Structure 1
Amino acid sequence: MTAPQVRSIEEPARKIPVAAEYDVLVVGGGPSGLTAALAASEDGLRVGLVESRSFVGGNMTIGLPVLGFLGQKGNRIIDGLPEAFIQRLRDERDGASEHRPCPLHMGITLVEPEAVKTVALDMLTEAGVDVLFYTFFAGVVMDGDTIRGIITESKSGRSALLARVVIDCTGDADVAYRAGVPCEKGNAQGGMQPPTLMFCLGGVDTDALRMSIANSPPEARTYLTDFIPAEYFGQNHQFIVVGLRELMAKAKAEMNLTIPNERTIIITGLKKGEVWINMTRVAGTDGTDARSLTKGEIEGRGQIDDIVTYLTNYVPGFEQAYFTKTAPFLGIRETRRIKGQYVMTQDDVLSCRHFDDAIAVASYPIDIHRPEDNGCTLIWCGDCYDIPYRSLVPQKVENLLVAGRSISCTHEAMGAIRVMATCMAMGEAAGRAARISARGNRPPSEIDVADLRRQQLERGVYLRNPDGTRAAAGARHPAS
């Protein structure tokens, strides 16, 4: 049997027009990209933001709550631009809840996807950011080991965008990878956390759902709500349910349903009777491969009917529920991670490590949807841990920063730092670092991190002293 022939064509060389030049260019308009662009534009630099979709907000637009604003001790540990964004969502559009304590997720902040798109774009345009939608990243412009810009593809054709500093907020380290930064994917065996295609149901009696859990006596309970006590549901009208394992097993057995998940995950929306369902699970999907993503989208959509059948026939409050919409894209939990000046580890998270060059504080537990089975690993550290600036600075390539879940960390640490509030905090730091770099005409790897930390504190960012207390603006802090 002969091997399949590998075919290729030779593309003719051509001159590519330079469509724009910036001081700072942000690639990707998700949670980290939004705050990176806002921070970079604070004192008048020319900032561009490139996004392949028709809106900004990324995973904040697919029905997920924002996790990570609250720490494991109940205190708010994310401030600055992420908090300003949530407050504006809440004040102008009634598009965000308060930060609600949650026994499992530490804290949840519900957001309305359409409000996210509007408010995020308003903030960017008001800040003077040059936003470019419907534009795909296609390559890098390099000068030796220094990135000078990117190549894009769009309806307008192929063009170049140049910048003094580029921030990769793609979530997949697309820019860093193409530029030659060493990258890793997945666990030791290359397995990556499976993505989920979120979908929304209307007509749900969420009070009936929560009270069915709150009022069930332990000896009669058919619910196993993971780490969330029944009392929580009696006190909260908006909530997350994670569990109902026995009900799901019963539904699978009695109705021959195919649901590749062990747990029911229900997230109430901000609108009455609306819930988002986080239960599809597409194992083996590689979020950096278009063919794999397509297969994952098809499989995810194919799982929805059985999940809806289970919910409407077995879960209290869903008797009159009806399908309304799916998320606009798969929710990807894990793809590439760069190798940077420092690699964050599981030990850094679990030891609540303090770094002299910390630019953000996080507290979300190590949360890994295991690639090899239908289960999930959760490990808490008990408090907070720092994210060092060095993990945003890649090896081998200058004038480039990375923010979001693809920073320099291990598979296990990524399971903790991947949530949206933390990504927004990293984006804010990257944007401010890029601004310092562009203003000082030195690469991000050589900026004064003490100055970055000072500016972070002056803008209200939550950072910690070595003893764990909140650092104050104006205080002296060492940096390495």
Structure 2
Amino acid sequence: MSQSTILEPAREIPVSAEYDVLVVGGGPAGITAAIGAAEDGLKVGLLESRSFVGGNMTIGLPVLGFLGQKGNQIIDGLPQKLIDRLRAVNAASEHRPCPLHMGITLVEPEAVKTVALEMLLEAKVDVQLYTFVSDVVLNEDGTQIRGVITESKSGREAIMAKMVIDCTGDADVSFRAGAPTEKGNEQGGMQPPTLMFCMSNVDTDKLRTSIAEQSRTYLTDFIPAEYFGQNHQFIVVGLREIMDKARRERNYYIPNERTIIITGLKPGDAWINMTRVVGTDSTDVRSLTKGEIEARDQIKDISDYLINYVPGFENAHFAKTAPFLGIRESRRVIGQYVMNQDDVLGCAHFDDAIAVASYPIDIHRPGDAGCTLIWCGDCYDIPYRSLVPQKIENLLVAGRPISTTHEAMGATRVMATCMALGEAAGRAAKIAVRSGVAPKDIDVQALRRELVEKGAYLRGQNGDRLTAEAVSEAA
């Protein structure tokens, strides 16, 4: 007879490390959080479950969000330093205006793994890879995290910390600590993930000139034909009529209503953002496994479609898949403030703003093959309170799972924004440790002043970039 549960005997867990600040998750937010926290000598650790850092910057996606809807750069500071380091080894492009995404920054995935790790080690962050956080250790009244429980080849260990920053993408630490969280829209539906894959030997010049010269045949979404005539590296979103024709003629199964192609930095490389696995929950291992299997199964038809119908792909071949599914949505914390759609579309200002964003509400709808895009026309602030979860006093959250609604998260989830949130969380955790207070009680204006002094972009009521003096005067 099968058992539904077993009783695990109590055992002593060795403490393997103690930190002032512990960052869990080494993606875009975790990288900048750890560097920001470690900048003036605090002992900072970073745990990452994979064999490399970089997260979604390593799966073939462009970095979105550095530029605003008016063409100005609105993300700076540590995120820009990472791009600068990548550009120094020819592994990142400049921030390129894009009619659909405001701006795109191409990065070389393999270089991100190396360069980001170099920056972390230079900052004296203690990086530990191949490590899953499976639980948390709370104080007696359940209001503070004393440490986390990890699982690795070394077995089950405890890592203790004064302050924890959850950069897991799925709010894993927050959830296990008992901080309030939620998932999806009002019906619980979440944006479907994509398994990116790369095709090589693509004639990207033929692709772009075909779109520029035959725009009625190769129609794109929101992106004018002249964009492709002017840019040798680009993103294609659309070609709906060609996809419909391919489905009719060859009965392809392509669960997406748009062709999405991103040229790589290497000549002939094109990353494909077209697999789509509806109903995948990245917080459920069986659902995540099923999603990976289904996405891999979709690649054959998508590749065949590109080779047989899209100009420039005639001699292309499949090269590789991304190392993991690209997750757009899972858990979000419920924080001191829940940022909402009106904040995004109303270009909201906040007195405790710690980042500025401009990316539109971009929701790959949970219920069909389509996408919702809504622009605000300018920028909107992200308040510090949305990084501060309820109930747990020494915890901050950065990246995709900050405190937002489903709709607002569709705008704040992109990588440049997540890096800016990571820097803010790292510097806030440092201030909290140095001041001996909970993150909710820090001097937020001191945080804002430090962010600006270190190069981050914040804006005043008139939209101008703030100086440190202006922050002090407003405090």
2:286 to 286, 291, 308: 291
1:313 pairs with 2:308: yes
Q: Match of 1:83, as an amino acid?
A: Q
CA distance in 1, matches of 2:219, 2:285: 37
1:104 pairs with 2:100: yes
CA distance in 1, matches of 2:15, 2:393: 21
Q: In structure 2, what is the equivalent of residue 90 of structure 1?
A: 87
CA distance in 2, matches of 1:24, 1:295: 35
CA distance in 2, matches of 1:318, 1:157: 47
> What SS does structure 2 have at the residue aligned with 1:237?
coil
- What is the CA-CA distance between 1:390 and the residue it aligns to? 0.2
CA distance in 2, matches of 1:48, 1:417: 26
- Written as runs of structure 1 = structure 2, the 5 A alignment for 1:120-159 is 120-143=116-139, 144=141, 145-159=143-157
CA distance in 1, matches of 2:188, 2:218: 34
- Written as runs of structure 1 = structure 2, the 5 A alignment for 1:33-432 is 33-91=30-88, 93-143=89-139, 144=141, 145-216=143-214, 221-432=216-427
CA distance in 2, matches of 1:310, 1:196: 17
Conservation of the 8 A alpha-carbon contact between 2:210 and 2:218 = no
Q: Match of 2:282, as an amino acid?
A: G
CA distance in 2, matches of 1:447, 1:6: 49
Conservation of the 8 A alpha-carbon contact between 1:358 and 1:387 = yes
1:471 pairs with 2:466: yes
> What SS does structure 2 have at the residue aligned with 1:475?
helix
Give the TM-score of the pair, scaled to structure 1.
Answer: 0.97
- What is the CA-CA distance between 1:446 and the residue it aligns to? 0.7
Conservation of the 8 A alpha-carbon contact between 1:167 and 1:402 = yes
- What is the CA-CA distance between 1:438 and the residue it aligns to? 0.7
Conservation of the 8 A alpha-carbon contact between 1:398 and 1:444 = yes
CA distance in 1, matches of 2:224, 2:135: 49
Gaps of 5+ in 1: none
Q: Percent same amino acid at aligned positions?
A: 75
- What is the CA-CA distance between 1:103 and the residue it aligns to? 0.1
Q: In structure 2, what is the equivalent of residue 456 of structure 1?
A: 451
Q: In structure 2, what is the equivalent of residue 8 of structure 1?
A: 5
CA distance in 1, matches of 2:3, 2:444: 48
Gaps of 5+ in 2: none
Q: In structure 1, what is the equivalent of residue 25 of structure 2?
A: 28
Q: How many correspondences in the alignment?
A: 473
In structure 2, the CA distance between the partners of 1:476 and 1:421, relative to structure 1 (3 Å rule), is closer
- What is the CA-CA distance between 1:468 and the residue it aligns to? 1.2
Q: Match of 1:285, as an amino acid?
A: T
- 1:285-342 deviations in whole A, cap 9, x for unaligned? 0010100000000000000000000000000000000111000000000000000000
Conservation of the 8 A alpha-carbon contact between 1:449 and 1:479 = no
> What SS does structure 2 have at the residue aligned with 1:456?
helix
Q: Match of 1:275, as an amino acid?
A: A
- 1:440-473 deviations in whole A, cap 9, x for unaligned? 1111111000110010010010001111111012
Conservation of the 8 A alpha-carbon contact between 2:350 and 2:381 = yes
Give the TM-score of the pair, scaled to structure 2.
Answer: 0.98
- What is the CA-CA distance between 1:474 and the residue it aligns to? 2.2
- What is the CA-CA distance between 1:476 and the residue it aligns to? 3.6
CA distance in 2, matches of 1:226, 1:371: 20
CA distance in 2, matches of 1:99, 1:428: 20
CA distance in 1, matches of 2:453, 2:153: 42
- 1:60-86 deviations in whole A, cap 9, x for unaligned? 000000000000000000000000100
Conservation of the 8 A alpha-carbon contact between 1:369 and 1:376 = yes
Q: Match of 1:234, as an amino acid?
A: G
CA distance in 2, matches of 1:149, 1:377: 40
- What is the CA-CA distance between 1:479 and the residue it aligns to? 7.6
Conservation of the 8 A alpha-carbon contact between 2:151 and 2:157 = yes
- 1:147-199 deviations in whole A, cap 9, x for unaligned? 11110000000011111100000010000001011111000000000000000
Conservation of the 8 A alpha-carbon contact between 1:357 and 1:479 = no
Conservation of the 8 A alpha-carbon contact between 1:450 and 1:478 = no
